[in-house]
Every structure is written in structure tokens, then in C-alpha cells.
Structure 1
Amino acid sequence: MVRILVPAALAAAMLSLPAAAQERSIYDDVKLEVIPETHGVAPYPNELVLLRIRGVYRPLVNISHMIQPSLANFGWTNLTRDTATDAEFDGFPAKAFERTLAVFPEKTGDLVIDSFVHKLTVVDGDGYRDINVKSPPITIKVATWQGPGGPKDPNQWWLPSSDVRITDQWSGDPNRVPRGETVRRTVTIEADGVTAEQLPPSPLMRSPGIISFRGPIDRETRVTETGPVARAVYRWDMRPTTAHPAIVEPIDIPWFDTKARTLRKAVIPAQRMAWAAVDAAGAPAVAKADEKPSAAALSGAGALAFLIGLGVLLVGREASSGLPKLPPRALLALRWAALRRDVAGVRAAVTRLARDEPGPATRWTGDPAVRAALAELDRHLFDASGSPAPDLGRLARTVRKARSRALLASRSKASGLAPLDGPYRGA
């Protein structure tokens, strides 16, 4: 009687066990885990963290599908295709699965990544069986930045990267810019461990004596096994605005070195810019074919040409005859270009006038009216938005008046020498 009751009790106990306990077999030889690569330090917000999702399965897998959690509080991108390789599980042959994600924590604190679920269809005898393999949830501790220059600093761009590289290229020689033309500056920034959206916006290329117009920006992200690599290309069309050489100031690009755990700076280098030398004649540009001067302008131009010829005849006698000094050629060229409505000629004449008279030019080029007029002229010449042409006659008059005031101010300075015809104050 006892022998009959014992097998019956064992059968009843087996029926009362949960289904998972009854199914303990080769199907329990499965494992899925998520391993964050933080290299033993707590990352800062927006810093790259590689997630390695690894599974090892002893059953023969026929169909697999990975269900990814929402990854709340993280930005992410998939880096590589899923890989399957041969492995061992407790000494038995098995298959290994791996997927790599790049995640970027978006805030500080303890951020939880929920379970990944791998849905598998495995071979079971002469049929198939569905099983779900879950990874344990993990927590990533994201550090809070201490001090200035961190992720929340409104005055500095936050760029956490393992390496930042800058290249600087010019379409022509910035030390010899042709008169009235621009050269294009192209700066390329590459950074490892970030996406293109994390690179800074186009810097402001502003320096005294330089005018620049921002060009198109290209951004791209290249995916590698070790993380994303971002690239941004910035462009500017630039030219000098004074007769004297000017310096384009260097620009610092701050970034956080994720390997050394310290702030660094990548530098867009300084560059000297200057106009190219003009020929000895210094002839202004030819008038455009569709700009026909009026009869009054032609009459005035004829009179001006007569005066120029007379000045050439008298220039050799100027020192001995006591005649007043003739106006410089650049000033005459400015009037002539304004009469012909030659916008480029006016700009070239103003530049040459400032170069020929460096002393007074330091005064009249800084005049607010002159600066505003030249800025309007440069916008028409070089801005792609198509600004209207300014009043060239008014611009020429503004320059002449400012130059006259500058000459008068320079002559009114008291001389350091004693007067020749005053009373002698010797002992």
C-alpha cells in the first residue's frame, strides 16, 4: 500500500509545481545581459556611453527578435549590425549574440535602463518552441559638473569628446586679396564620440578691419564600432576693409576630453589679411555696360578730365611756383567713379585713398558717417542677399568732407619748433 501511495504523491507534487520548474531543461541555458562601458567613471550629461547587449544561447535558434526598451532620459544610436558567433555555455556548444548601442544621458542622477527582451523561436525535438529572454535592468550614475564650463554653462558650448581636430583652408592667399574680391575660408571640425548635432554652431568671424559673410554649413555623422564621429564644415567669404593689413582673431572651441577628464580648447588659428598690390597706374574698373551716365554727368566728367590734364601739366612746377597742392589721384578717381556710377570703382578708390594717406586716414576712416556709408557699399558688393546700391555721390561727398576735417585737424597741431619770424627769446 505504501509503495502505491508514494508514486501517486510524487505525481501530485509535480503537477502542483510552476510551469517554469517543470520545464527545466536545455532551454534554461540562455543568458542576456547589458554591459555599459563607463571605464570606471561616472559620465557627464551628453557624454558617450557604449552599451554592449550580449546573449549566449545553447538551444538552436531558428528566429530571433530583440525588443528594446524606451531608453527614457537617453539619446541613442545603433552603431553596428547584430552579430552571431560560436561560443560555449557551461562547456556545451552555444551561439553568442551581440548588439552595440551608443547612448547619451540627458540629465544627471541615477538613470535606469529597463530590460531588453530577446524573443526566440528555438528547435524543440521535431517542432519549435517560443521563449523570451530578459536582461536585468541596469542603472547608470551620471555625474553633476562642478565649476564653470559644464553642460549647463550658458556662456560656453558643451562638447564631450575623446578627440577634436580642426583644419583651416583658404581659397586664395589671404595676404594678397585682389581688390574688390573676397576669399573663402573653410574650417572643418571633427570630433570623436559625438553626433553632428552636438558640434557648435558656426562661430562669429568678426575682427577689426575685416568683413565676413557666413556661407553654408555641412554636418554629418559617421558610425564606427567605437562610437560616432561627427564632422561639421563652416564657410565664410571674407575681405579686408582698410588699406592696412588686419588680423583675423583666433577663435577658441572649448571641449571636454573624456579620456583625460579635463577641459581643453581647440583653436581656429589667427590669420593676417591684406589687399594685393595694384599696378602703377591704379586705373579704376571699367563702367558696366548697362549703366549709362546722364548728359549732366558726361558734362561734369568732361570738365573734370580737363582739370586732371591741367593738374598733370602743373605738377612739375608745383614746388617752385607756389601753387596749391593738387588733390591726390585717388580722390579724383573717387569723384570720377561716383559720376560713372561705378560701385566697384568707388570702393577701390576709397581703399587707395586710405592707403596713400595713412596719417589722415586713421582719422577719417573712423568717422561714423564714413563707416556707415562703406558698410552699406560693402553689403551691396559682397552680401548674397542683394542689398540695393547706395548713393555713390553722397558717399563720395561724405568721404571728402571727413578727409578735409582730418587734414585740418592734423595741420592744427602745434609745432615743436620755435617760429622763424617771431621775437627771439634767446638769452
Structure 2
Amino acid sequence: MVRRPPLFLVPLLALLLLALPAAAQDSLRLILPKMQPVVGEMIPVTIRGEYTGWIALEEMTFPDSAGYDWIQLGPDEWRDERVEGRSRRIFQRHVAVFARRPGSLEIGPVSHHLTKAEGNARLPAEVIAPPVSIDVQPYPAPGTPLVTRSLKVTDDLSGDPARISDDQTILRRITLTAEGTMAHLLPPRPELRERWLISFTAPERRETRLTERGPVAFVQWEWHLRPITGEQGTLPPMRFSWFDANKREMRGDITRPIPFGYGKQSENLGGAAMVPRGLAWQALAALAAGCLAGLALLLRDRGFRPVRDLQRLWHRLRPNRALPALRAAARGDDLFALRRAAEDYVRAERQAGRQPRPTAIARLDAALFGPVPAPDFDRAGFLRELTGR
């Protein structure tokens, strides 16, 4: 005779049978921190697995995506741990994800292929972590995103460019070091071009170094610089804008301007056997200016004062050779190119004995090197203010 269990025990036994497999079930999940990242900011992701049994082999697949870059931050961690009173084999991997665009970013799913050992048998198993999502905010400035906890910019020179000798070459080396980002997310090599200077660029160095604080990105640029004319010049500052991941604000680092002395001493006044063509034109211009000034004084003494008309006539007779390039730069979008063209214009004005308005240059420098770059700089107004036309 077979005895059946009491009816009130049937539901209890069913619950116990359902609970036993769940207690021994393997699990894998993705853990995201509570944050509001911007485009390009490091999002730390922890992959945590809780397994039972003896694991002989394992292989994890983290998916690539057009929506993000990623890098593993260190070796995998394995340890034994008690979870809800049961012994589990714990797996953890730390990954950094960098979103490429704003919006909802989906990470995963992640697959972990396991081979478990039970006696002499090897049993394959696959555990999958479901995808997770996080909202990514737009980068709060135009241009290529650069988000870092800190940015260090060094600008080294192999000699004093203000006292450069004939045919001497100076090595300039700029190094950027940024915490919490990857090397390919650092800005590209800046352009370094001046009509009075010849430069030879060395191949850049980029690398990402893993540290206890996370990834550290590194890039280094080198230029071999040699002036090729007899005039003095100044390399303008370079600005590197970045978003401070700690203070949650935009910041900027600026290199110093670098003045160069005379590059070709044989083309200067002290060492020239013949007067250069440019100086001859300047001498003729000075002679014409003297004649016009004398004529203006003579007419003024006789009660005739067309000084403004004479000034306009002088501008027509001796135009600034840098004015066409300045006008072309004012029509473009590159404020640094406009700053270089304005510097050439101011230099030519001073060589001709005229003093341009300094407020225009000050406004342009404030737009370029101020705490927050001006997105809509009035180029036409700047041109009128600087040239007085």
C-alpha cells in the first residue's frame, strides 16, 4: 500500500523543489555607477559573475559598438565569497566605456563561456549578462570632446629662440598628459606654420597607460624650427580646451607665446653688403611720407587742413602688405589664423610708423584665450576696428 503525503504538504514541497535550482543558478550582471556622463567621459563598468562548481576554463566576450570605445582596466578578479549563506565563485572585470554621441547608450549583452569540471567530466556552460543603458549628455562645447580628471601641458624648447644664431635649429616639444581618457581621444597635432619659419615635424607619440587610478593618455609632438628670413616673429599661443570631470566645467590650458630673434643674420642691417629689396621700398615709403608730412604742415600754416584726406591718400600710396591676408582670414572661421594675420598686419603698420588700435587685438585675445571661448566673434567689426576702414 502506497501512502500519499498530506495535501497541505504538496505546495510546500513544490516550493522547495523550485527554490533548489534557483539557489544553485549561475548569474552575471553589469553594474554601472550613478552618474550623468557627457560625451567622451569615462564610464566605469563592473562585470560581476556569481558561479557554483569548479570552473576549469572561461572566456568572456565584451561587445564592440559604434556607440562607444572601451578598454579593460586591469586583470580579472577571482575569489570565493558567501552569497546569501552559500559559497560562490565570484568573478569581476572592470571596463571603462567612452560614449561617442549623446543620448541613451546601451552596453551589452555580455557572454561568459565556462567549462565546469565535475569529476572526470567537462560540462560547457554559457552565462549572459543582459544589457544596461545610461543617458549620455552632449559635450558642453564645440569641437572634439576631451573629458579628463586633469590635463598637464608641457612646452619645452632646446634653446632660447630670442637669441637664435644664424642657421640654428631649435627643437620644440609639447606633451599632453590626461587622466581618465584614452590616447586616441586627445586632440590632433596643432598646425605650426609661419611664413618666416620653416618647421620639420617628427612622428607623434601616443599611448594609453593603465594605472591604479585608471587609464592615463599621453601624446607628444616635436617640431624642429628654423627661421628663414631676416625678420623677427612670434609663435602664437596654443589653446587646449577640455571638460573637467571633477568640477563639471570647461577649462583651458594655453601655451606661452614664443618670440624668435633674427634667424638670418646675413640678411639684417648689420651684416648686409647690399640693402635688401624690402628695406629699399621702406626707405622710399619713408621719403614719400616725409614729403607728404611737409606738404601737410605747409598747407596747415596757410589755413588749409585736409589732414584726413592726406592720410587716406597716404594709405592708398603705401598700403599695408599684410592687409589682403588679414581680410582673407577675417572671412574664414579660424580665429587662430586671424590672430596670426593680425599680428603680421600690426607689425607692418609699426614698421611704417603707424600705430594700430590695441583694443582690437585685446578683444581677439579675450575670445581666444579667455576662460570661455567666444563662439560668435565679430570678425568684420574686428577688421574695421583694427584697420580703421
Which TM-score applies when normalising by structure 2? Answer: 0.63
Q: Which segments of 5 or more consecutive residues in structure 2 lack a partner in the other structure?
A: 299-389
SS for the counterpart of 2:161 is coil
Deviation at 1:127, TM superposition (A): 3.7
1:412 to 2:291 alignment = yes
SS at match of 1:24: helix
Specify the alignment match of 2:37 in structure 1.
43
Q: Name the CA shift for 1:93/1:22 in 2 (closer, same or farther; >3 Å).
A: closer
Is the CA contact 2:193–2:199 (under 8 Å) kept in the aligned structure 1?
Answer: no
Query: Within the alignment, does 1:254 sit opposite 2:254 as a pair?
Result: no
Secondary structure at the aligned position of 1:201 is classed as coil
Is the counterpart of residue 68 in structure 1 residue 62 in structure 2? Answer: yes
With over 3 angstroms needed to count, the CA separation of the structure-2 counterparts of 1:93 and 1:5, relative to structure 1, is: closer
Match of 1:299 in 2: none
Q: What CA deviation, in whole Å up to 9, does each residue of 1:280-316 have, x standing for no partner? A: xxxxxxxxxxxxxxxxxxxxxxxxxxxxxxxxxxxxx
Using the TM superposition, give the Cα deviation of residue 169 of structure 1 relative to its aligned residue in structure 2, in angstroms.
0.8
Structure 2: distance between partners of 1:399 and 1:130: 83
For residues 130 and 136 of structure 2, the distance between their equivalents in structure 1, rounded to whole angstroms, comes to 19
Q: Secondary structure at the match of 2:24?
A: helix
Question: In structure 2, how many angstroms separate the alpha carbons of the residues matched to 1:349 and 1:411?
Answer: 29
Aligned match of 1:213: 199
> Which residue of the partner structure matches residue 161 of structure 1?
148
Matched, 1:184 2:148: no
C-alpha distance in 2 between matches for 1:72 and 1:89: 36
- How far the C-alpha of 1:162 sits from its partner, in A, is 1.2
Determine if the alignment matches structure 1 residue 232 to structure 2 residue 219.
yes
Identity in percent: 28
> In structure 2, what is the Cα distance between the partners aligned to 1:401 and 1:244?
15
Partner of 2:163: helix, strand, or coil? coil
Q: Does 1:109 align with 2:103?
A: yes
Structure 1 partner of 2:372: none
In the alignment, does 2:265 pair up with 1:348? yes
8 Å contact kept, 1:26–1:59: no
Quote the residue 2:258 is aligned against.
271
Conserved? CA contact 2:30–2:45, under 8 Å: yes
Cα distance 1:242–1:25, how it changes in 2: closer, same or farther (>3 A)? Answer: closer
Is residue 78 of structure 1 aligned with residue 72 of structure 2? yes
| Alpha-carbon distance between aligned partners in 1 of 2:210 and 2:44, rounded to the nearest angstrom | 13
> How far off is 1:402 after superposition?
2.1
Note the alpha carbon deviations across 1:370-424, whole angstroms, 9 max, x for none: xxxxxxxxxxxxxxxxxxxxxxxxx9774464255245335535459x99xxxxx
Does structure 2 retain, via aligned residues, the 8 Å contact 1:250–1:269? yes
The code of the aligned residue for 2:27 comes to K
SS of the residue 1:175 aligns to:
helix
SS in 2 for 1:223: strand
AA aligned opposite 2:68 = F
CA distance in 2 between counterparts of 1:210 and 1:400 reads: 16
Provide structure 1 residue ranges, at least 5 long, that are not aligned to the other structure. Answer: 277-346, 358-394, 420-427
The offset of 1:254, in angstroms, is: 0.6
> Superposition RMSD on alpha carbons, in Å?
3.7
**Counterpart-to-counterpart distance in 2, 1:249 and 1:98:** 49
Contact 2:196–2:231 under 8 Å retained in 1: no
Helix, strand or coil: the match of 1:412? helix
For the pair 1:24 / 2:18, whether they are aligned, the reply is no
* Per-residue deviation, residues 146-194 of structure 1 (Å, max 9, x unmatched): 6xx2xxx3xx332111111011111111221012323121111111222
Contact 1:120 1:131 in 2 (8 A): yes
Are the equivalent residues in 2 in contact too, given 1:42–1:142 (CA < 8 A)? yes
Q: Partner residue of 2:53?
A: 59
- Alignment correspondent of 1:121: 115
Using the TM superposition, give the Cα deviation of residue 66 of structure 1 relative to its aligned residue in structure 2, in angstroms: 1.6
Aligned length: 290
CA contact (8 A) 2:154 2:174 kept: yes
Q: Confirm whether residue 143 of structure 1 aligns to residue 22 of structure 2.
A: no
Q: What is the DSSP-based 3-state SS (H/G/I as helix, E as strand, rest coil) of the residue aligned with 2:21?
A: coil
What residue is the counterpart of 2:30 in the other structure?
34
Q: Which residue of 2 aligns with 1:173?
A: 160
Taking the aligned partners of 2:109 and 2:200, their CA distance within structure 1 comes to: 47
Change (3 A) 1:168 1:144: closer
Alpha-carbon distance, 1:259 to partner = 1.3
| Offset at residue 73 of structure 1 (A) | 1.7
Distance (Å, rounded) in 1 between the aligned partners of 2:162 and 2:276: 31
Whole-angstrom distance in 2 between the partners of 1:397 and 1:162: 53
Query: Contact conserved, 1:205 with 1:212, CA < 8 A, in 2?
Result: no
